Amino acid sequence: MKISARNSLKGKVKEVTPGAVNAEIVIEIVPGVEVTSIITKSSFEKLGVEVGKEVYAVVKATDVLIGIE
């Protein structure tokens, strides 16, 4: 896989919640660190996303913000 986005996080699908239009995918990057993605139902089906499958969370944005307490 080659992509131009600079931020990609490899992980495993921990949870899938399919809906009528979209699917919510929870990806565990490392134990205790999760990223949630909302993708279209069509993309969810084409990619064959299922729990336990290794995937990449790809972040494409012009800015990455940092916050502190």
Going from the N-terminus, what domains does the chain have, and what CATH number goes with each? Answer: 7-59 (2.40.50.100)
Closest CA to 23 of 12, 5, 6, 36: 36
- Token pair 């084409």: residue: 46
Phi/psi of residue 6, each to 5°? Answer: -85, -20
| H or E segment and range at residue 45 | helix 41-47
pLDDT, residue 21, reads 97
Q: What is the pLDDT of residue 65?
A: 75
What are 21's two structure tokens?
């239009």
- Model confidence over 3-25: pLDDT tens digits? 887 788 999 999 999 999 999 99
